[in-house]
Structure 1
Amino acid sequence: MSTKSAPDTAQLEPIASGSIVVGHDGSVDAQRSLEHAFELADKLGAPLCVVRTWSIDTAPHGTLVDFGIVSSFAQVSDKVCALLEAESKAAAEKHPSVGVAYRSAFGHPAEILLALSGEARMLVVGSRGLGGFRSVLLGSVSERCVRHAECPVLVVRPKKARD
């Protein structure tokens, strides 16, 4: 019997139907995925939703406890969203016609992205995130999204280093 629970998608505001949804974990590869998602949304005239998930372990430093006061999940999500918006600013400025929404959710990235895939036009994910196994060809989040999403999935490969 599995003790795994479904993601708490009640914490997520609904996305605009037909949005391009991009997962962003703060990595360089995620930034590349974000740029591709903005370009795609601009060309298709689609809204864009940028999503970051977090956990107790991955919440930005100083967001869980501030001056000895424990933050609520909503407060942490707001701080994560603000950070996500700041990290997306340069890409957003290149595509001013794209309507952008930012979402932050407590949970596993694949579960949250899959929950959003039902309303999405497309998911955009990096091939590898911050998971660490550089030898793996496709990261666990991107693989789960490719296999289980209810919409098409674009997997953005990392930029190759030039010799």
Structure 2
Amino acid sequence: MDPADVRTGDIVVGVDGSIPARSALSWAAAQARHTGARLHLIAVWEIPALHGWAPALPYDEDLAAAAGKVLSASARDVLGEQPTDLEIAESIVPGHPAQVLIDASARAALLVVGCRGHGTLTGALVGSVSQQCVRHARCPVVVVRGTW
């Protein structure tokens, strides 16, 4: 994704299909309705790290399509079929999730991410993508915890 795809003033939300990401999308949509900002949904995919051999399949096409399906399903489940009260943009981008969202934050008014957590002890900590976004984003960041 070219960071220019994000318009100045957009509310950018990372979408990965998880329950925390759906909660983040719901929160971001409410904020976009409140402020009149465009909601920009971003799904990120990357080729899995493989050691010792090169992938034989054209991963880019399959992973991009899968990310697109996750983005569409999440948007439909959280926002409905075609919300008329929101201006929405969608991007499906190859790369590392934190870096793509940080790059998108350069023009955004707000970056919204979910926090997965991993159990009782580590669940209290901020996840690696959300932590990187909080530390390096160039706009305010909201990390949404909880269930959708």
Number of equivalent positions: 140
Structure 2-normalised TM-score? Answer: 0.79
User: Are 2:115 and 2:130, in contact at CA under 8 Å, matched by a contact in 1?
Assistant: yes
Structure 1-normalised TM-score? Answer: 0.73
RMSD, aligned CA: 2.8
User: Are 2:14 and 2:41, in contact at CA under 8 Å, matched by a contact in 1?
Assistant: yes
Deviations 1:33-83 (A, max 9, x none): 11101111111100001111112239xxxxx99xxxx55736743552243
> Unpaired segments of 5 or more residues in structure 1?
1-8, 59-63
Confirm or deny that 1:88 pairs with 2:88. no
> Unpaired segments of 5 or more residues in structure 2?
50-54
Higher RCO (CA < 8 A, seq sep 6+)? 2
Among candidates 121, 125, 138, match of residue 135 of structure 1: 121
> 3-state SS of the aligned residue for 2:5?
coil
Give the C-alpha shift of residue 128 in structure 1.
2.3
Aligned-partner Cα distance in 2 for 1:157–1:75 = 30
Greater share of helix residues, 1 or 2? 2
Confirm or deny that 1:154 pairs with 2:125. no
Identity fraction in percent = 35
Among candidates 20, 32, 36, match of residue 29 of structure 1: 20
Deviations 1:21-43 (A, max 9, x none): 00111111111111101111111
Q: Which runs of 4+ in 1 moved over 6 A?
A: none
